[in-house]
Structure 1
Amino acid sequence: MVSGILAVLLSGTVAPAAAASPGSEPVYDYAKAVRETVWVDIGRDGDGDGRSDRVAADIVRPSEATSRVPVIMDASPYYSCCGRGNESELKSYDSAGKPVKFPLFYDNYFVPRGYAVVLVDLAGTNRSAGCADVGGASDVDSARKVVDWLNGRATGYSAKTGGSAVTASWSTGNVGMIGKSYDGTIANGVAATGVAGLKTIVPISAISSWYDYYRSDGATFGFNPAGLAQTVEARNSGQNCSAQNQVLTQGATANGDYGPLWADRDYVRRAGTVRASVLLSHGVNDLNVKTIHFGQWWAGLNVEKKIWLSQTGHVDPFDYRRADWVDLLHRWFDHYLLGIGNGVQNGPQASVERQPDQWADQSAYPAAGAVATTLRPGVSGTLGTSPASGTASFTDNPGLGEDTWVTDPGSAALTYSTGSLASDLQVSGTTSLTVTATPSTSSARLSALLVDLGPATIRNFAGSGEGIKTGTSETCWGSSTSGDDACYRVATADAKKVSYTILSRGWADLANYASLSQERPLTPGTAYTMTFRLASTDHIVPRGHALALIIGGTDGSFIRGPAQPGRVTLDLARTSASVPLLGIPPAATTHPAPAVGEHVPSADRADLR
């Protein structure tokens, strides 16, 4: 039986909406649409060839429109190297270089409805000049300058070099940026500049701070931005990006310090300058662009915003809730780009997937009424609000990962549990953990998990589809041509029964206890206090399950271990978690937690597509 918070949320009950204005209709002939490329000058010489870089903006727009039209833009580095969407679509061109294939359904669906769709090749990728700088000024300006051009503030040309000036006389100047992963990240970055004309962004599984993609509170994930730059530049011959790649290599120091390169790519610092509305989507089990990204970005925004949180990994909502997503995008763009009063900005702020294909609306994210609650580990393995005392130790074993920590931690990790809950407990927001730790060696890592101990059916986010199975049947969304069809394979939920669910993770290097910008040597036998974050989430731990906090050293599923793994001792009186909770946690309990048995391996994903 579903009970408490979960029963209310799964009911999905919302107040009746007021009558909305009609939306845009498919009145334009997609086959007759204008297809062209304009190269926009971004005012930088990233490849050092002595010329200002121009980025390629491939445009498709209704030819019959008698008035100016707004723009939906997806700026990406992946249009020739890696592809977009679940079917990895690439751009294609005819023999004269005119664009034919526009990846994804945006052009097929929205151009007949009176929109232009503009797909921008970031500097150094596909047909653009320059070099990729992985979220830096060149990447961001690749899209920002196109927004400027659409508003008459930048210069576009008919060719990559030379050519004649081209204006966007057909554009209203209203732009909405959309994209998954790297593409959505660029939307965040452009919005953080406050550029005029950008009316809305739709970041899907997007990065908000590149530091948090490659590092975590001093800990390192083991991959670096120069490798990604070289991947996206690989099919763009004739450019020398070695100098820019060296900048990335030197700036991304081998340790986890937060330095100037990361500060330049930290959009959260500038979230207060965002003027565009935000429709955000993220998988709460995304192990690629981890969920701290949406949590900190969301918290910094002061604009109209809505959020979808799925149980998937790194997956586009088009592939897990297709019809509802297309309908929402249609109404969202109609409102913010065409000015149609359809009320899409009203109603529940959040929609959260509680079980595969079972969604619940919430009035807010984090959930209204959720309170930062201090939970303390007890020496007997309890987790509650009562004060604690004593010490506990673990021995760092970088060869073990999170699932072993849950099922059979041995001496590698410490488990603290609420015991069986008398009522539902919702974790909604971002958790932080404060530890006072004494290392036995001069280097130490810290990792922590929040775990729902109890059986559930979830999306198989650790599987090859990260929670979806792609079939062979197709559905079509918009108009097609011989070179660009609007039909995409249907994906269904890949569900799995589990005995526990890891709902939040966090990692840190104890050497950064005093400063994220500069690690300090550790003295064996000396106690250090450090606070670090666990990933943002929204999860209900049902009555009868237990909420557990697991603390250990190197979580080998994700981070690199220290030079000298050793034993770490926690002062429990000065160790606690601040967890955003809706519901009543126990003060402390000796009731047993539900047993866990199934080992469910998970894998870190460094593919940013």
Structure 2
Amino acid sequence: MKTVVLAGILAVAAAVVAAPQSAAKPRGSEPVYDFAQAVRETAWVDIGLDGDGDGRSDRVAADIIRPKEPAAQGKKVPVIMDASPYYSCCGRGNESELKTYDSAGRPVGFPLYYDNFFVPRGYAVVLVDLAGTNKSRGCTDIGGPSDIESARKVVDWLNGRANGYTTATGPARTNATWSTGAVGMIGKSYDGTVANGVAATGVEGLKTIVPIGAISSWYDYYRSDGANLRQGSPAGLAQTVSQRNGGQNCSAANRKLTAGATSNGDYNAFWLDRDYVQSASKVKASVLASHGLGDLNVKTINFGQWWEALNVERKIWLTQAGHVDPFDYRRSAWVDTLHKWFDHYLLGVDNGIEKTPGASVEREPDVWVDQPAWPAGSAVTLRPASGTTPGVGTLGSSPGTGTVSFTDSSGQSSNSWAARPTETSNGRVLFSTGALAKDLHVSGTAKVTVTATPSTSTARLSAILVDYGPATIRNYTGPKEGIKNELTQSCWGSSASGNDACYLNTSTDAVSVGLNIISRGWADLANHGSLSQESPLTPGQPYTMTFRLASTDHVVPQGHQLALIIGGTDGSFISGPAQYPKITVDLGKTSLALPVAGAGPSAVPAALPVAPAQIAPATVSGLERG
């Protein structure tokens, strides 16, 4: 039997109860309601769409757990909502929890700790099955109108603006008379993505969102500046999440997904429907976000572009880990922050959470620093120049001259390009700063401009930023992307039969390295003029293209070197061109816009490490891992 450690929840509860409170700052919510007696029920909400073409408007299932006492006293409660396609196929959280039901179909097991912790504190928790998944009707459309309406209409229902029913097909209505209408959406990965999308509609009643490792543009999940990322396909993901849902015919909906996600990598109306950044100006909800700087599933460009487009109260946590929930890398602090966040934005408690620093960043494993905001930097321009070794040069403020070349081919990867930085490589060119005279804080989204001449009519470009120097970092390419499961558990709230509050403890999975790839980016040179329309390339003609690298926040320490590597097809992440070219780079017309806090890099000439130890080869994992 596993040892259950109650210290976590007791410490949090004690902090809530014992903390001194002034008259101006009321106490936070406390666990005063009986979780075992909580109301557990399901409402089916009409979303006004017919995704499966059966002639009936689709209804989505919203499983609800709420404290019994407030309703009996005529009081209403706010709602914490997690809308997901994963409740019957793939599970939620580190332990892949699924929803469970009793013999009458009443919800019993609510994945994750939100219900255990918050229902006793006077919140309702509502877990919504996206259309076409678990108990909901219709078909999923991978971030499109069906997914977003699945959750937005539930917000409307909680505010008395949409129709809810007691069954999936019957006529009996049900109303959320117990709801204050104040809703906070939360979720990791796909779930947090839906929260972003619903917030981008500006729906009334949505007071806050907590997206964790979430997508802001599905184009930037499946594509990168014209290049196809190795992430599977929208139709494939739809089949994964709907495979346990019976009765609907979603073949037509899946054909639309295949037709819309064109193979050429162009940005089109399909992707626009799934690009929430374009509607960020409509967001009225506050945002508490978390993202892994080592997330190679939902690439960090997704939080970077979303964050810079928002104009609301917001706070972000950035960890060295990969696609990991903060509950599993900084548990006690996260639950405390989340508690205060929901208390403030859903209950109106004046606890000062909105005045805390805007960004919390993990600099080393389990070493966190606060900074006023993210990004902390503004762009400086660095330029590559040739050195004494062919294909290995310098990165500084002065423009280079002449050209350098490399030959693209299958089987190349960013890890192999970085492995021997002192050597000429047929597959890439490398430019480094020299040994930094002081720490260099890179914070934001870098862009690289490359003027390249291909030898064929198709070409891919890849660029990476590498921190060369010894360090200990989270093992973000490891089996659990920077964490390890322990044998003990800790409990975070109240338990009931079939629904316990206890979860495996985790610890840090760290690794010592001699280099760390801190940012990656990819592009199809055929999209040099427009992401919406690729243009055939003429062999021997130069093209200039600017493309983005992954958003980051990283300090390159004094004595380390920062390098820019430019190559062709990074096979770990993107698919190759029809014909692999030799690519010639014009150094005088190539540059890196690097976001840094303070001045740009100052450095002295220094030899690069011959073959530095590096983190294990990166792998791409599908979103269905959640």
Pairing 1:294-443 to 2, within 5 Å after superposition: 294-367=303-376, 370-380=377-387, 381-408=393-420, 410-443=425-458
8 A contact 2:437–2:603 mirrored in 1: no
Structure 2 CA distance for aligned equivalents of residues 127 and 247 of structure 1: 23
Cα deviation, 1:269-320, whole Å, max 9, x if unaligned, reads 0011100000000000000000000000000000000000000000000000
Pairing 1:419-568 to 2, within 5 Å after superposition: 419-568=434-583
Q: How far is 1:255 from its partner?
A: 1.0
Q: How far is 1:479 from its partner?
A: 0.3
Q: 1:31 maps to what in 2?
A: 36
Q: Which moved more, 1:217-226 or 1:245-254?
A: 217-226
Q: How far is 1:411 from its partner?
A: 1.1
8 A contact 2:440–2:601 mirrored in 1: no
Structure 2 CA distance for aligned equivalents of residues 147 and 353 of structure 1: 34
Structure 2 CA distance for aligned equivalents of residues 168 and 275 of structure 1: 23
Pairing 1:65-76 to 2, within 5 Å after superposition: 65=70, 66=73, 67-76=75-84
8 A contact 1:382–1:589 mirrored in 2: no
Q: Which amino acid aligns with 2:399?
A: P
Q: 1:11 maps to what in 2?
A: none
8 A contact 1:383–1:416 mirrored in 2: yes
SS for the counterpart of 2:83 is strand
Q: How far is 1:595 from its partner?
A: 4.2
8 A contact 2:437–2:604 mirrored in 1: no
Structure 1 CA distance for aligned equivalents of residues 410 and 295 of structure 2: 22
The yes-or-no answer on 1:217 pairing with 2:225 is yes
SS for the counterpart of 1:21 is coil
Q: 2:59 maps to what in 1?
A: 54
Structure 1 vs Structure 2 CA RMSD = 1.2
> Match for 1:264 among 273, 279, 287?
273
Change (3 A) 1:74 1:586: closer
Q: Which moved more, 1:577-586 or 1:114-123?
A: 577-586
Cα deviation, 1:236-290, whole Å, max 9, x if unaligned, reads 0111000000000000011110011001000000011100000000000000000
The yes-or-no answer on 1:148 pairing with 2:156 is yes
Structure 1 CA distance for aligned equivalents of residues 440 and 21 of structure 2: 33
Q: 2:186 maps to what in 1?
A: 178
- The gaps in structure 1 that reach 5 residues or longer are 1-16
Structure 2 CA distance for aligned equivalents of residues 596 and 291 of structure 1: 28
SS for the counterpart of 1:345 is helix
Q: How far is 1:586 from its partner?
A: 4.4
Q: How far is 1:583 from its partner?
A: 4.0
Pairing 1:73-112 to 2, within 5 Å after superposition: 73-112=81-120
SS for the counterpart of 2:518 is strand
8 A contact 2:438–2:602 mirrored in 1: no
Pairing 1:174-213 to 2, within 5 Å after superposition: 174-213=182-221
Q: How far is 1:488 from its partner?
A: 0.1
User: How many residues are aligned here?
Assistant: 591
The yes-or-no answer on 1:168 pairing with 2:176 is yes
- The gaps in structure 2 that reach 5 residues or longer are 1-19, 388-392
8 A contact 1:453–1:595 mirrored in 2: no
Q: How far is 1:221 from its partner?
A: 1.3
Q: 1:245 maps to what in 2?
A: 254
Q: How far is 1:587 from its partner?
A: 6.7
Structure-2-length-normalised TM-score: 0.93
Q: 2:6 maps to what in 1?
A: none
Structure 1 CA distance for aligned equivalents of residues 598 and 470 of structure 2: 20
8 A contact 1:47–1:244 mirrored in 2: yes
Q: 1:113 maps to what in 2?
A: 121
Pairing 1:118-137 to 2, within 5 Å after superposition: 118-137=126-145
8 A contact 1:382–1:588 mirrored in 2: no
Q: How far is 1:387 from its partner?
A: 2.0
Structure 2 CA distance for aligned equivalents of residues 523 and 18 of structure 1: 70
> Match for 1:576 among 579, 587, 591?
591
Structure 2 CA distance for aligned equivalents of residues 148 and 554 of structure 1: 46
Q: How far is 1:564 from its partner?
A: 0.5
Q: Which amino acid aligns with 1:106?
A: Y
Q: Which amino acid aligns with 2:427?
A: A
Q: Which amino acid aligns with 2:326?
A: P
Change (3 A) 1:401 1:583: same
Change (3 A) 1:503 1:98: same
Q: How far is 1:347 from its partner?
A: 2.1
Q: How far is 1:89 from its partner?
A: 0.2
Structure 1 CA distance for aligned equivalents of residues 617 and 530 of structure 2: 33
SS for the counterpart of 2:253 is helix
Change (3 A) 1:102 1:422: same
8 A contact 1:420–1:594 mirrored in 2: no
Q: 2:14 maps to what in 1?
A: none
Structure 2 CA distance for aligned equivalents of residues 576 and 387 of structure 1: 8
Q: Which amino acid aligns with 1:139?
A: D
SS for the counterpart of 1:179 is strand
Q: Which amino acid aligns with 2:30?
A: E
The yes-or-no answer on 1:607 pairing with 2:619 is no
Q: How far is 1:389 from its partner?
A: 1.4
Q: 2:10 maps to what in 1?
A: none
8 A contact 2:453–2:541 mirrored in 1: yes
Q: How far is 1:527 from its partner?
A: 0.2
Structure 2 CA distance for aligned equivalents of residues 174 and 565 of structure 1: 55
Structure 1 CA distance for aligned equivalents of residues 602 and 29 of structure 2: 55
Structure 1 CA distance for aligned equivalents of residues 276 and 112 of structure 2: 26
Structure 2 CA distance for aligned equivalents of residues 344 and 586 of structure 1: 35
> Match for 2:26 among 21, 25, 34?
21
Q: Which amino acid aligns with 2:451?
A: T
Q: Which amino acid aligns with 2:473?
A: I
SS for the counterpart of 1:434 is strand
Structure 1 CA distance for aligned equivalents of residues 360 and 26 of structure 2: 23
Q: 1:3 maps to what in 2?
A: none
Q: How far is 1:21 from its partner?
A: 3.2
Structure 1 CA distance for aligned equivalents of residues 451 and 605 of structure 2: 24
Q: Which amino acid aligns with 2:323?
A: H
Cα deviation, 1:220-244, whole Å, max 9, x if unaligned, reads 0132100000111100011100000
Structure 1 CA distance for aligned equivalents of residues 445 and 55 of structure 2: 47
SS for the counterpart of 2:281 is helix
Structure 2 CA distance for aligned equivalents of residues 298 and 229 of structure 1: 27
